[in-house]
Amino acid sequence: MASHFALGLGIGTQNNTGDWLEVYYPQPLLNPTAEVLSALSALGEDYSGGNAALTPTPSQLQALAAAWQDAGIGELAALAGECQQSKRTVVLTVLENDEAPKSVPEVYLKLHLLSHRLVQPHGCVLDGMFGVLANVAWTNEGAIDIKELPQRQLAARLAGRTLSVDCVDKFPKMTDYVVPAGVRIADTARVRLGAYIGEGTTIMHEGFVNFNAGTLGTSMIEGRISAGVVIGEGSDLGGGCSTMGTLSGGGNIVISVGKESLIGANAGIGIPLGDRCTVESGLYITAGAKVAVLDDEGKVVKQVKARDLAGTNDLLFRRNSSTGALECLTNKTAIALNEALHANN
């Protein structure tokens, strides 16, 4: 069988009409091997190629488990065996190509690939996913269709229980599906499934990480990482700071922060930052903001728009306390994160 982009065997939730609400994939696979794919012949005519979300029967799961076991793929075989006893619908999602997802199981497989660190942000196609996903009530009893929520709340009360609705959103929190190794997350509700959290990252209570965004290594996050934003190794986002995503205002510039950079408390960026850059506290840099570039003697060399400095290394952005002008000069101090503070083992 030809090479495929991804494969996942999971357990999903459907509403009363059979529409998918979410899927949990314990062991998503990127670029599954030929041995993994050859076992799909056990599905017979149910799978003939392409991208598909299948609901294998217990007998098909048994055949898959046997085929994977014979091929020496023990963990996947064990998962297929366990899924035979599932009280919820089992789904096998096969992605031959990395293209715009057309179903909820396809979206969730790609979000799992991100949070399992199998692909980095912007490493897979997510175009059109908002039109695929439905708004869901995320509760202490799992995902519930919004239209079915009142009846479920009533049923819980009649049974002497309280149904707690944690949020109403298209995305669940990441840690209900995967907890990456070597991270600290103070408030798990502030990290969405599809976030890429690099090993060594600490996310404090006010930190937020959206889907298809995150950190590539050790970082301190006390601010907002918006959708699509990537933070480099050793960088620090101060309390209440913000990074401009691509979802609001029709923006199409991909914002990123390089290595060993600092965005101060309550600051923000609308341009990509290079390595070893600093933005002083309270300063928000938009792409069109006028910036006075200073030389080593503090004299203005030129006036540029902030977008012209995008991606440049070793810059310090500050506000002139006398004139209020936005200034940029060479950053002579490197940001060093506290090793003891970031020990996440």
Select the more confidently predicted residue: 296 or 268: 268
The verdict on residue 337 lying in a domain is: no
Annotated active-site residue in 106, 206, 222, 327: 222
The verdict on residue 340 lying in a domain is: no
Tell me what the pLDDT averaged over the chain comes to: 93
260 and 324 within one domain: yes
CA neighbor of 143 nearest in space, from 173, 113, 115: 173
At 337, is the pLDDT very low, low, confident or very high (cuts 50, 70, 90)?
very low
How many Cβ atoms sit within 10 Å of the Cβ of residue 160? Answer: 6
Q: Look at residues 115, 148, 169 and tell me which one is the last residue of a structural domain.
A: 169
Structural domain range at position 244: 174-330
The verdict on residue 335 lying in a domain is: no
237 and 92 within one domain: no
257 and 162 within one domain: no
The verdict on residue 341 lying in a domain is: no
Q: What per-residue confidence (pLDDT) applies to 298?
A: 85
The verdict on residue 322 lying in a domain is: yes
CA distance 72 to 34: 12
Q: Look at residues 100, 125, 150 and tell me which one is the last residue of a structural domain.
A: 125
pLDDT of 250 above 60: no
pLDDT of 152 above 70: yes
Residue 53 bridge partners (DSSP): 93
Digit-coded pLDDT (tens) for 76-130: 999 999 999 999 999 999 999 999 999 999 999 999 999 999 999 999 999 999 9
Please state the rounded mean pLDDT for residues 219-225: 97
DSSP strand pairing (256-257 vs 230-231): parallel
Taken in order 139, 141, 143, 148, the sign of the CA dihedral is: negative
320 and 206 within one domain: yes
CA distance 221 to 201: 7
302 φ/ψ angles, rounded to the nearest 5 degrees? -165, 165
- Tell me, yes or no, if 222 is annotated catalytic: yes
89 and 109 within one domain: yes
CA distance 291 to 298: 14
318 and 178 within one domain: yes
Give the ranges where 53-176 is alpha helix by DSSP (H): 58-70, 74-83, 104-115, 129-132, 149-158
Give the ranges where the chain is alpha helix by DSSP (H): 34-38, 58-70, 74-83, 104-115, 129-132, 149-158
What percentage of the chain has pLDDT greater than the value 90? 88
Residue 64 · residue 73 · CB < 8 Å: no
The verdict on residue 69 lying in a domain is: yes
Please state the rounded mean pLDDT for residues 307-323: 94
Q: Look at residues 169, 190, 225 and tell me which one is the last residue of a structural domain.
A: 169
pTM higher than 0.85, yes or no?
yes
**Any idea what the CATH number is for the domain that residue 180 is in?**
2.160.10.10
pLDDT of 53 above 80: yes
The verdict on residue 288 lying in a domain is: yes
95 φ/ψ angles, rounded to the nearest 5 degrees? -115, 100
Please state the rounded mean pLDDT for residues 136-146: 97
Q: What per-residue confidence (pLDDT) applies to 247?
A: 57
Encoding tokens for residue 279?
């933005």
Q: Which amino acid is at 170?
A: K
326 and 178 within one domain: yes
235 and 162 within one domain: no
111 and 31 within one domain: yes
277 and 202 within one domain: yes
- Residue whose structure tokens are 């995902």: 143
208 and 97 within one domain: no
The verdict on residue 222 lying in a domain is: yes
CA distance 250 to 34: 41
207 and 70 within one domain: no
- Give the chain's domain count: 3
**Any idea what the CATH number is for the domain that residue 65 is in?**
3.30.70.2010
Between CA 77 and CA 87, with CA 81 as vertex, the angle to 5 degrees is 140
